[in-house]
Copies of this chain bind each other. A is one copy, B any other.
Amino acid sequence: MRIEVVAVGTELLLGQIADTNSMWLGEQMAAAGVDSHFHQAVGDNHTRIVGALRTALARADGVIVCGGLGPTQDDITRDAIAEVMNVALERDEEMVATIAAFFEARGRQMSPNNARQADVPAGAAVIPQTRGTAPGLICPVGNKVIYAVPGVPYEMADMFERAILPDLRQRMADDGDEAVIVSRVLRTWGASESGLAEALQARIDALDAPGDGGTVTLAFLASGIEGIKVRLTARAPSDVAAAALLDAEEAAVRAQLAATIGDIVFGTDDQSMEDALSLELTSRGLTLGLAESLTGGLMASRLVNVAGASSWFRGAVVSYATEVKHDVLGVPDGPAVSEATAAAMADGARRVLRSDVGLGVTGVAGPEEQDGQPVGTVFVGVAPAKGATFVREFHLPGDRPRVRQYATISALDLLRRHLIHDDS
């Protein structure tokens, strides 16, 4: 099964926004064993969208077209698909009522333009919206297919998972093309990409060697502030066989990393550092309070993304001004970027927020040095549930936003490792 992605929007061609949709779809399709040989981007122009769709259908079994389903006169993907299908657009009155209800629920009036979103090429099936107003479409073209989804990433992703992927799987099963490709990601923090590659060279060589079946591959994916991902990909006749291959390889990789670099795997797949920390806190029945300086609320905003955070996250004091450190957290006078301040912030957070554990972070995000410390210097204090408060010093690379993000994940990882090793 070969699917081409066509991203619609003049803003993509003008470089005004990044085409993250095509990237995301490429990754999802690869994981599902769907080939994708080409991606295209095209502007908001009827003739060119029609041309891009025809080019794509000529060289693939189907197309996912993203964008151009909105309510404005710019949004002409529906019209272009109707031309490619050689059918008329028909207004779906049930859909009009659904869209009107969406606006009504928000105390707003639907504008007449929004009714255009209920126009459906004759013969197409609708993918209902769950998050916005623009429905998606499944449009048969001979024995091929055009899937149309909105360009808003989370609406696109929802429709892909809910409607397009199941439809693709059915088509693949009908074709007898049922090899599955399954990936698993091990997420690491604290090692470089070349360090990981060196540690795992023996595994990579073993997988490449003939006779091994060649059914698992390893790849590294530097993910910036999320660390480095090690992706294991298995190709096998069934989900069960693929899972068995991945289980064996994951165990081998973890053992090799633990033996050479240490405890750097914090999670798998979509598990974030905050998810991993949440598990350690919850299993010990501990609550957490934060004192943030250079991170400015980033740590707290990551933690509240974890489902059920309210059972263990008490809150944070963002002490951006020095006086707030003194007044609210009771940090004594002295340089703001120092080991002593980080320790006092952690103690202050634990006391003021009445949590079991306190975590305090201070440092220099840049662009200027501060308190004689260079940009990237960060002190993380941990006030644990038992034992003495301790501080670790980090030297982090990058510009202002990056130092903040690296400081955030480094601090969360420090507490995670402390809980696993010293507080179990």
- Mark A residues whose CB is within 8 Å of B: 10-20, 22-28, 30, 36-45, 48, 51-52, 55, 59, 70-74, 106-108, 111, 113-114, 131, 152-154, 183, 185, 192-195, 197-198, 204, 219-224, 231, 233, 287, 290, 292, 294-301, 303-305, 309-310, 313-321, 323-324, 327-328, 352-354, 395, 397-402, 404
Q: How far is the CB of A355 from chain B (nearest CB, A)?
A: 9
- Nearest CB of chain B from residue A343's CB, rounded to whole Å: 19
Question: B40, A40: Cβ atoms under 8 Å?
Answer: yes
Q: Are B219 and A74 in contact (CB under 8 A)?
A: yes
- For the complex, what is the distance from the CA of A15 to the CA of B30, rounded to whole Å? 8
Determine how close the nearest CB of chain B comes to the CB of A93; give it in whole angstroms: 19
Distance in Å: Cβ of A117 to nearest Cβ of chain B: 9
A-B contact pairs, 19 of them (CB 8 A): A12-B26, A17-B23, A18-B20, A19-B19, A37-B48, A40-B41, A55-B55, A72-B197, A72-B220, A131-B397, A296-B303, A297-B298, A297-B318, A305-B401, A314-B324, A315-B321, A315-B324, A316-B320, A317-B317
Among residues of B, the one whose C-beta sits closest to the C-beta of A44 is B219
When distances are taken between beta carbons in the complex, the residues of chain B under 8 Å from A193 are 70-72
A15 and B298 alpha carbons, distance in the complex (Å):
27
Copies of the chain in the assembly: 2
B152 contacts A222, CB within 8 Å? yes
A97 CA / B70 CA spacing, docked (Å): 56
Is the CB–CB distance between B183 and A221 below 8 Å?
no
